[in-house]
Structure 1
Amino acid sequence: MSVKIKDVTQKNWREVEKLRVGENQRAFIEPNSYSLAQSCFEPEWKSVALYCDNLLVGYAMYGMEKTKGNVWIDRFMIDKDFQGKGYGSQCIKALINHVKNIYNCNEIRLSTHLNNKFAQKFYEKVGFKINGEIDSNEQVMIIKNI
């Protein structure tokens, strides 16, 4: 499976906006339209489209927070039609490497809703660990020494 991370542009933003998580996941992540707008008005956040074998399967937003300089994967989602097929695991690994290379960092943060045990286990499988911090009612997870 070949993963490509591409900028969200005028050519693909409408397709990215149409990506959806399952009904039972909607309470855990902002709609892509919100995140796309956020990355337009807050330039420290970068929106990217996630492709596997040239098929758009997901969306992510990452960046470095202004105040503390921490690097975050602030959004990560795989469309409901592509979940459970290995796309998520491949895309998150590629995204971690992508973000690491851009910021030349050795640690990346993300946060998960306290009730989203599936996401917590998913991120733990690729090396993230809960660090005990809470960010906007979500638990912070960190991957280090990447």
Structure 2
Amino acid sequence: MSLHIREVTKANWRAVANLTVADEQQSYIESTAFCLAEAMYDTQWKSVGLYDGDILVGYAMYGINIDVRPEIEVWLDRFMIDRNFQRKGYAKRFIPLLLETIQKEYVTDTIFLSIIPANNLAQQLYESFGFALTGEYDEFGEAILKWIAPIQTKLNI
């Protein structure tokens, strides 16, 4: 099947809202219902469903984060694979697709995200794609990571 990203709309928001992570991951990310509400009222965020063919397997939220620092920065603010589809390689397959999508949509070669410091698996996953800790923390105590596009994937701006 083919992996693709679909914007959250009136047609799929309920299915997206029902996505959830494993019990031991609950403290690492907000519920998708909360994320959808946040994106509805903080319009700098875009909510998307992550699909394998017609099957919804995950969720992401990205956009220009105006809350952390005064600089204009593009963030992959939320990323999750539903508990029923974890350990099947989806995270490793969707991150490059999300990076490419965000890079093109915002015409940027730099993307930020943040993680709960205790979430070692997420940190290892993101670092495997070139994200690096900045040494900074957001207002919630989450560690900030930064990705800069490798030379061969930089946009021709």
Q: TM-score band, normalised by the shorter chain?
A: over 0.9
List alignment gaps of at least 5 residues for structure 1.
none
In structure 2, C-alpha distance between the alignment counterparts of 1:59 and 1:28, rounded to whole Å: 14
Residue 130 of structure 2 corresponds to: 127
Which of 67, 76, 89 is residue 73 of structure 1 equivalent to?
Answer: 76
The 3-state SS of whatever aligns with 2:76 is strand
- Structure 2, unmatched stretches of 5+, are 151-157
* Residue of structure 2 in register with 1:21 after alignment: 21
Residues 72-111 of structure 1: matches in 2 within 5 Å? 72-111=75-114
| RMSD of Structure 2 on Structure 1 (CA) | 1.0
- Residue 94 of structure 1 and its aligned partner are, at CA, apart by 0.4
Moved segments of 4+, more than 3 Å: none
Q: Which has the higher contact order (CA 8 A, sep 6+)?
A: 1
Query: How does the TM-score come out when normalised to structure 2?
Result: 0.90
Higher Cα radius of gyration: 2
Specify the alignment match of 2:153 in structure 1.
none
% identity of equivalent residues: 41
Residue 14 of structure 1 aligns to a residue whose secondary structure is helix
Instruction: Normalising by structure 1, report the TM-score.
Output: 0.96
How many residues are matched? 146
Contact 1:4–1:54 under 8 Å retained in 2 = no
